[in-house]
Amino acid sequence: MADLSVNVCGIDFKNPIIPASGVFGYGHEYEEIFPLEKLGGIATKGTTLHRRTGNISPRIAETPSGMLNSVGLQNPGIDHFVEKELPYLLQKNVVILANIAGSTAEECAEVAQKLENTDVHMIELNISCPNVKHGGAAFGTRCDLAAEVTKQVRKATSKPLVVKLSPNVTDITEIARAVESEGADAVSLINTLLGMRININTGRPILHNNVGGLSGGAVFPIAVRMVWQVANAVNIPVIGMGGVSSGKDAIELMMAGASAVQVGAAIFTDPYAPVKIIDEMNDFLDSKNISSVREIIGAVKPW
């Protein structure tokens, strides 16, 4: 058995696999399938200051090698999370990354502050959500806005802060450097790519929100490229995600520079996907006589 343990921002993970935010809820349903402690970590459902009902259906659409979603951050709010969900998760011997979001930098900071006196291990700040103070632009697509929201959240918490980056940008390394400069302890990427499907019989978009986030296997090569670019541009750890569906995919992202890997859309087609990926990673490392998964982080040799 290879050593699958990794350390991100001073936090020890028994293995590098983390179900991504939005696909795993708070783990209740999946615990009926496998023990949550098999996982390295869990990124919780994106949580906002107040309860959100999300977008109007239809909110999900299939695509070749992937899916579009426009759920709209449906969640019960931070107070419910802290009181009802977090105590349950903290019993599971797994690292908990509380994924948070907000419409303004101040709102994100307030959510983070409410987590400061809890035992949550890490905060993952989603900067790909709408920023209503700036005409609906996303924090994650402008360096100044990304830096400002990171700065505000950094002031509000001493927890390890992971900033989740949007791929819908010209140069993701600029955004990564901006959040690093304002105190991010790590970055996670990629979030979904903006996409659209149209029902040719009705002439209307399939999603009621017209556009949604593309995830799944189709985005994997983009994720590998962006993880590699960011890992070579910053001095903080990178958590990779985007289209991972096998142990070999996870190995590839780690070779590109990721210290840990989140698994998203694959869980919808196979609830056992995270556990299978952990086993497949171990088998690969054993087959190559690699004693620790840490040896492959950033091991790619560019031509």
Task: Report the catalytic residues.
Answer: 129
Query: Are 219 and 212 spatial neighbours (Cβ–Cβ below 8 Å)?
Result: no
CA 303, CA 295: separation in Å to the nearest integer?
20
Q: What SS3 class is residue 274?
A: helix
d(CA 96, CA 269): 23
- Helix axes 143-156 and 105-115, enclosed angle (nearest 10): 30
Q: Rounded to whole angstroms, how far apart are CA atoms 207 and 69?
A: 8
- Please name which of 293, 26, 266, 44 lies closest in space to residue 162, comparing C-alpha atoms: 44
Let me know if 83 is exposed, middle or buried by CB neighbors in 10 A (0-12, 13-18, 19+): exposed
Three-state secondary-structure class, residue 189:
strand
204 CB-contact burial (10 Å; exposed 0-12 / middle 13-18 / buried 19+): exposed
Amino acid found at 151: K
